[in-house]
C-alpha cells in the first residue's frame, strides 16, 4: 500500500490579537471529518456565546477535497474566504480554523476585515504547528554480531531513523525509512552486509516533520 503525503497541524492551537478595539481569537483544531468540524464549531459558539462572530473555514481530505467557509454575519467574502485562502496557501488538510471576533465598536472596512481574518488564521496555524506527514516504512533488520559494529556505525551516519536495537541471537534493529527511500535502503543494507542481513517490513506509517513555507 502506498500512503499519500499530506500537510496538517500537530495539535490544537489558539492565538489572538486586537485591532482598533476589536478582539480576534483564532482557534485551530485538527479534524477528521465534517461532523467533527461542526461539533467543534457548535462548542465554540456555546463557549464564547457573547462574541459577535464565529467565522470559520476548514479543509478535509489529503487532496483538499472538502472545503467550507462561513462569514457568520460579517460582510460577504471578508472573513470565511480569507481564512480558507490561508489554509489553501499553506496546503493543509483535516484542519478547522475558527476566528471569534468581539467587536470593539470601530468598523474596519472590507479590506481591514480581510487582512484581520487572514492574519488571525496565520497566527493560529503557527500556534498549532503545521507539519508534513511523510509516508514511511518500519523495518526490522537483523545482522550477526560480527557484522553489527560496522553496520551500527554506518547506520548512525545515515539519514535513516533508529527506533530500537535488541541484542538476542542476532542484533535486531528497528528502523524507519521514507517510503520513497525504502528500495535504496534495502540495497544499502544488502551491500553493507554482503547479503547476510535479514529484513522484514513491520508496518507502513506516517512520520511527522515540521513544514516549511510552501
What span, in angstroms and rounded, lies between the C-alpha atoms of 129 and 211? 8
pLDDT value at residue 3: 82
- The model's confidence at residue 107, banded by pLDDT at 50, 70 and 90, is confident
| pTM value > 0.75 | yes
Lowest mean pLDDT among 1-5, 60-64, 86-90: 1-5
What span, in angstroms and rounded, lies between the C-alpha atoms of 165 and 133? 25
Domain ranges, ordered by start, for the chain: 6-128, 132-210
- The model's confidence at residue 109, banded by pLDDT at 50, 70 and 90, is confident
Between the two ends of the chain, the Cα-to-Cα distance in Å is 27
Enumerate residues 6+ apart whose C-beta is below 8 A from 42: none
**213 has pLDDT over 60:** no
The tens digit of pLDDT for each residue in 10-54 reads 999 999 898 999 999 999 999 999 999 999 999 999 998 999 999
Mean pLDDT, rounded, for 76-92: 95
CATH of domain 132-210: 3.30.70.240
pLDDT value at residue 83: 97
- Asked whether the beta carbons of 5 and 207 are under 8 A apart, the reply is no
- The model's confidence at residue 1, banded by pLDDT at 50, 70 and 90, is low
**186 has pLDDT over 80:** yes
What span, in angstroms and rounded, lies between the C-alpha atoms of 75 and 62? 30
CATH superfamily of 6-128: Impact, N-terminal domain (3.30.230.30)
Q: Return the closest-CA partner of residue 152 out of 168, 169, 172.
A: 172
pLDDT value at residue 214: 52
Q: Return the closest-CA partner of residue 45 out of 56, 29, 30.
A: 56
- The model's confidence at residue 90, banded by pLDDT at 50, 70 and 90, is very high
User: φ and ψ at 162, to 5 degrees?
Assistant: -85, 120
3-state secondary structure of 179: helix
The tens digit of pLDDT for each residue in 128-154 reads 999 999 999 999 999 999 999 999 999
Mean pLDDT, rounded, for 191-196: 92
Amino acid at each position: 500500500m502506498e500512503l499519500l503525503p499530506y500537510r496538517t497541524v500537530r495539535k490544537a492551537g489558539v492565538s489572538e490579537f486586537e485591532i482598533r478595539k476589536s478582539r480576534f481569537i483564532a482557534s485551530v483544531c485538527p479534524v477528521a471529518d465534517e461532523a467533527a468540524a461542526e461539533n467543534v464549531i457548535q462548542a465554540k459558539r456555546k463557549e464564547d456565546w457573547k462574541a459577535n462572530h464565529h467565522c470559520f473555514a476548514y479543509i478535509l481530505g489529503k487532496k483538499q477535497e472538502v472545503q467550507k467557509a462561513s462569514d457568520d454575519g460579517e460582510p460577504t467574502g471578508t472573513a470565511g474566504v480569507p481564512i480558507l485562502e490561508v489554509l489553501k496557501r499553506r496546503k493543509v488538510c483535516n484542519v478547522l480554523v475558527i476566528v471569534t471576533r468581539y467587536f470593539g465598536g470601530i468598523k474596519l472596512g472590507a479590506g481591514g476585515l480581510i487582512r484581520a481574518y487572514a492574519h488571525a488564521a496565520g497566527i493560529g496555524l503557527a500556534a498549532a504547528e503545521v507539519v508534513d506527514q511523510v509516508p514511511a516504512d518500519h523495518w526490522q533488520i537483523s545482522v550477526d554480531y560480527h557484522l553489527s559494529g560496522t553496520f551500527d556505525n554506518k547506520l548512525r551516519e545515515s539519514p535513516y531513523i533508529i527506533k530500537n536495537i535488541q541484542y538476542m541471537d542476532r542484533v535486531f534493529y528497528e528502523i524507519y525509512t521514507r517510503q520513497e527511500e525504502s528500495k535504496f535502503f534495502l540495497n544499502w543494507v544488502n551491500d553493507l552486509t554482503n547479503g547476510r542481513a535479514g529484513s522484514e517490513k513491520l508496518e507502513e506509517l506516517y512520520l511527522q516533520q515540521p513544514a516549511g513555507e510552501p
